[in-house]
A = this chain, B = another copy of it.
C-alpha cells in the first residue's frame, strides 16, 4: 500500500491535510445562503472517531485463522474498521459524521497476491462469512457497505496490497496489473514504461484499478481512453467457485465475451485480482481550450456534432447555464471584485453571451498530427454552433483542479448544507427531455425538503462523457440540510434522491453512467434491466458464488 491510509480522512474526502478552499470566505457563505433562500448557515461539525461507538468484532481467533493461514494480514482495530465502514457517498458521510458506524466490517483481510486472495475468498466461502471487496473505498452508491446478508459475519477484503504492475506488452499496447493498485501508482509505473492508461476519474488519487472495472467507471478523458468496459481486455477473479479467468483477445466470435460481465460486477461475483487493459503512448501534444455557447442546447449540439464527426476529442465537458454561472461566481468570490470582470461581462454580452451562456472545455491529446487535426475540427464545429473560443486559461484552470471537486463537500457539510451528485446517460434525442425532468425533480424535491419557507436547492449539471449515440448528464446539487438529526437528514436525502432516480427511470435514462449501482441504485437497476436480465445476473452469481457471500445487498443480487 503506497498510499498511507493514516494520511486520509476516515469520514470525508481525500487527504486530511488538504487545505479548505472555502475556509473563512464569508462572502461565499453569504452567497450560498442567499442562493438557497435560508437566513444563515449553521455550524454542523462531524463527530470525532474517538467519540464513536465501535462494537467489538464477533469473529473468533478460529474464524480469523484460515485467512492468516492463507498468508493474509488480518486487522480488526477501530481505526481500520471505521475506515472500511462506508464508502464516500453523501449518505455514507451522514452516518460517519454522526458517529453511526454500525454496520462495521468484523475484520479487514489484506491479501498480498492473487493466490492469497483466492485462498481468502475460499476461506470465507468455507466459513460462511460475507465478503466486501474493498479497493479505495470511494464508492458513492453504497458499493462497499458491510452488509451481512444472511451470513453470520462480514469482512472486508482490502485489495490495496495487491498493487504491482505485472507486465507491459509494448507491441500489443496492453498492460497487466494487480487490481488493488491506486491510480497514481499505476500511472506512474506505466509512465516509467512510456505508456499510460488514461483513466482519470475525479477519485483518481484514491481509487484502484479493480474498483474502476468493478463499477464500470469513467475518467475525465474517457472520450479518448474509454470507459472501464472499453479499455478492459481481460480479468482474473477470486470467486467462491475458484479462480476465474476471462478471455483476452482483441476480438472474438467464440460465444459471448464474459469479460463484459466482470465490468459492473461490483464484487458480487468475486474479487478482481488482476486485469489486462489497453494502454496508449503518452501524448506528445495536447490542446485544451474553452468555448462559450449561447445556451446549453447550442453547446449540446456542438458536442454531438463533434463526436458524430468522429473528431478524436479527449475531453468534451459542457456545463449548463447554472453550472457555468455558479463556478464563474465561485471563482470571483475567491478573489477581490475586479474591474476586469465587468469589462469581460460587457464584451460577452455584446457577443450575445449573457447570463445564459454555457462553458465547454474541449481537449485533444495524442501525437502532433492528431492534435492538430482534432483542434482544428473542434474549432470549426464549435464556431458553426455559435461557440466563442475563450482560450486555454479556463481549460488549464479546470485541468489543474480536476480532482479537487469532492473536497468541497466536507466544508459544505460543516455548514449545514447537503451536497450530492448523480449521473445518468441516454440517447442524444432524449438528452433534453431527461435533463429537464431530472433537473425539475431535483429542484422540486430540494424545495419541498428544505424545511424553510422560500428554501430551495442549487442544481448544476454538465455533459462530460459523450458518444455517437448519446451522452451522460451529471448533476451536482446542494440544499439546506434538515435540522432534526441524522434520521431526518437521511429521510431528506432519500426523498431528493428518489425523486431524481424516479425521474431518470421515467424518462429513459440509466440509473448510472459511471458511479455504479451498489446498494443505493439497486431497485432502479432491477427495474431498468427487467426481470429476465436480473434472472440472468442471479444465475451467473449462483454459478460463481453459490452461498451468496460476495458483497451481499449490492446490485439487488
Contacts and interface: CB of A to CB of B under 8 A. Distances in A.
Interface of A: 169, 171-174, 215-218, 227, 229, 233, 239, 241-242, 244-258, 260-266, 278, 281, 304, 308-310, 312, 366-367, 369-370, 373, 377, 425-430, 465, 467-472, 509-517, 521, 524-525, 528-530, 532-533, 535-537, 539-540, 542-544, 555
A251 B425 contact: yes
B229 A309 contact: no
B260 A529 contact: no
Contact of A536 (B215, B516, B543): B543
5 contacts: A173-B469, A250-B470, A254-B517, A255-B517, A539-B539
Tell which of A217, A239, A241, A543 has the most Cβ of chain B within 10 Å: A543
A183 to B, nearest CB: 17
A556 to B, nearest CB: 9
Contacts of A515: 253
Given A251-B425, A251-B467, A256-B261, 13 more contacts: A171-B304, A172-B429, A249-B426, A250-B467, A250-B470, A253-B513, A254-B517, A258-B533, A261-B261, A278-B468, A532-B544, A535-B543, A539-B542
Contacts of A532: 239, 241-242, 244, 543-544
B254 A257 contact: no
A227 B215 CA distance: 25
Nearest to A260: B260
Which of A253, A509, A512 has the largest number of chain B CB atoms within 10 A? Answer: A253
A534 to B, nearest CB: 9
Contacts of A253: 215-218, 264, 510, 512-517
A281 B309 CA distance: 9
How many protomers of this protein does the assembly include? 2
Contacts of A521: 254
Contacts of A251: 216, 218, 227, 229, 425, 465, 467, 470, 472, 510, 513-514
B511 A254 contact: yes
Contacts of A216: 251-253
Contacts of A278: 468-469
Contacts of A255: 264-266, 517, 525, 529, 537, 555
A308 B514 CA distance: 26
A156 to B, nearest CB: 21
Given A169-B427, A470-B172, A539-B540, A510 B309 contact: no
A449 B503 CA distance: 66
Contacts of A229: 251, 257
A264 B260 contact: no
A543 B531 CA distance: 11
A185 B233 CA distance: 35
A250 B427 contact: yes
- A171, A467, A537: residue with the most chain B Cβ atoms closer than 10 Å: A171
Of all A-B residue pairs in the complex, the 8 with the closest CB atoms, nearest first, are A250-B470, A260-B260, A216-B253, A172-B427, A252-B510, A539-B539, A171-B429, A250-B467
Given A172-B470, A245-B530, A536-B258, A252 B425 contact: yes
Contacts of A260: 256-257, 260-261
A383 B261 CA distance: 42
A529 B312 contact: no
A533 B256 CA distance: 10
A264 B517 CA distance: 26
Most buried by B among A249, A425, A524, A543: A249
Contacts of A514: 251, 253
A278 to B, nearest CB: 6
Nearest to A227: B251
A265 B369 CA distance: 41
Contacts of A427: 169, 171-172, 174, 248-250
A442 to B, nearest CB: 19
A546 to B, nearest CB: 11
Contacts of A264: 253-257
Contact of A510 (B239, B245, B247, B472): B247
Contacts of A258: 529, 533, 536-537
Contact of A252 (B233, B262, B430, B512): B512
Contacts of A169: 427-429
Contacts of A465: 251
Contacts of A257: 229, 260, 263-264
A232 to B, nearest CB: 11
Contact of A308 (B173, B540, B544): B173
Contacts of A241: 532, 535
A174 B215 CA distance: 26
A513 to B, nearest CB: 6
Contacts of A471: 250
A126 to B, nearest CB: 18
Nearest to A281: B308
Given A242-B532, A543-B532, A256 B172 contact: no
Contact of A469 (B250, B304, B542): B250
A138 to B, nearest CB: 14
Contacts of A239: 532
